[in-house]
Structure 1
Amino acid sequence: MDSALRSLLFFAFFCLLLVGGVAVFNYVQDPMCYFHCEGIDLNRRTHNVYYQAAQTLAANPEAEVLILGSSRGERVSPRWISEVTGLKTINLSQGGADLLLKVALSNIALETNPKLKKVIWMADYFELLAMTTDAKVKWNPALSSHLPGAQSHTTWQTYLQKAKVLVDHNTFEAAVSLARSQMFRKLGNGDDLDPQACASESFVGKTSAEMLPVEVSIVYPRFSSFLRMDLSPEYSQIFREQIQKLAAKGIEVVINIAPYHPDFEKRLQLEDPRSADLQKTWVKLVEGLQGENVKVLNYFSGIPGDDGGVKFWEDGVHPTCYAIIQMLKPGLQSSPQ
């Protein structure tokens, strides 16, 4: 065997050894909780924010109110909800959270939170679209085991994709930085919001009046694309069944339908008039769930008093915590405690 071939073989062996070492390191560290998180460990550090939501839930077995939402739900102050209702509240909302995360978390709560009385469901149009569920949900054992039916099944494609993750440089970087990752929030997202400031009529948002039109334009391309897609019959049924399941258990479900910034909605209607019909179909589906233990707060046509300014909006999609309070207050003040 000549020296060139030996060098080539040695290099190939070294590469395999290096890749194998990285894969083993990533597997052991498991920074995204894809391999070693069958249960909910409160001491575990992870970069998986959806697993962190489950940790918040597990850390509060006495919680009586859950807030479930995506990035819009992160603007809800759990301390304000507690003040209004007199019930201990945690906010499990996470940016990008889809329907199946909300289903998984609410199913876990039904098993582990005997005092659960109310679920505030911050509805999103995109959660009923036929989109690929985030791997942070489907690949996490603790969450995926609480998904409905076929959604909880693991396929050979999943194993292949997870194997690829083990040798991905992003996973390696996450594994290396795992010790510095933030732990879960005790009350979940929104616990850093000042409830008095958010409820004050003198509330001032963090976006300036000059920057708000810019922020509306920045988020428009991404979020408007969702509003042009047809609703998924499968996900619509999963949503309907989960709300009915919670209500049948005696849990009061408050579903909030928030609008988009007036300029955002106006631009969307000009570019794609069909989107208005799609959204109306979605609103009708949600409103159809109103009944015993289910209350729908419909602000699709706008929030009373909304002038499109910084008191109500951070950008084209996300209402401020003040605007959130204006929407939720009527549905909570009359709720039994």
Structure 2
Amino acid sequence: MSKFTSHIFIVISIAFTFNSCLREPAVEPDTYRGNFESLWKIIDTRYCYLDYKEIDWNTVYRKYSPQIDTVTSKYGLFDVLAEMLDELKDGHVNLYSSFDRSRYWNWFSDYPSNFDSKIIFNAHYLGEKYRIAGPFRYKRIASDQVGYAYYGSFSSNFSYANIQALFDNFKNCKGMIIDVRNNSGGMVTNAELLSSFFFKEKTLTGYISHKIADGHSDFSKPTPVYTIPHKTMNWDKPIIILTNRMSYSATNEFICRMKYAPNAKIVGDKTGGGGGFPLSSELPNGWMVRFSASPMFNAEMEHTEWGIDPDKKVDMNIADKLAGMDTIIEEAVKEIL
């Protein structure tokens, strides 16, 4: 097992260990009321952001409890429970049944998109003759002076050979752009691995804490999270990371790490957040609820749940968009040149 893999495995294992040690809420009957009580208790004892978000969960109980008495179907029950979960304003919170999945999307839908996939695939950028290395779509732009790579999901694995292909293709460029706009997350291990190619030394890039009891503020001592540089491949030129509000979850973690990379700069919009490590629990009727269980922080012990600010805030310009230009990519090119 590599040093990289073992480090993230330890962090994730700690999360499962702490949460598995928590006392399970009392088993409720499989009734409309029982499922409501079970869900409310799971969030009350396991969800990690009630205090941080200043959510009065008892008030939420009083708001939704009377509605359960009027429920007459599983669909009505699902809708009431989903509305209650929306009070958390968390994209990592979902209720799963055989017929529906609840979701909270306001973390990006209430903001400008700052991304147009048609534009990045036009002749100014990737065009039609771009190369593909694993999940990366890449090409030299700006008269071959800047390397540009789009990575659409941290659920997509990549190999060292894929990264080497990028570095080899961009070796004569003045800098590189990695575009993770509209990358809504995936595997944290991929976020750590990708960031490792842009560090020169082991660097503290964050912390993670875990629930140790049922109280809203019952957390373990924060565990430091380090980004460890790759042993043989390291990019030592400017690296610009492009973000928008749909840069979420594992992408948020990638940005948290890259904030501390020596030659990196984040350009675009604030990320969507998603700084809580998610876990799942089961309701009496078999429905599953996913929720943020372990808060993650940056190296200054600041929460990343609400998103991470870019080093340079840039929005897409309508005039540029009509001209087939991406304002955020153009600003990144200027930063490099």
Which structure carries more strand by proportion?
2
User: TM-score w.r.t. structure 2 length?
Assistant: 0.30
Higher RCO structure, 1 or 2 (CA under 8 Å, sep 6+): 1
User: TM-score w.r.t. structure 1 length?
Assistant: 0.30
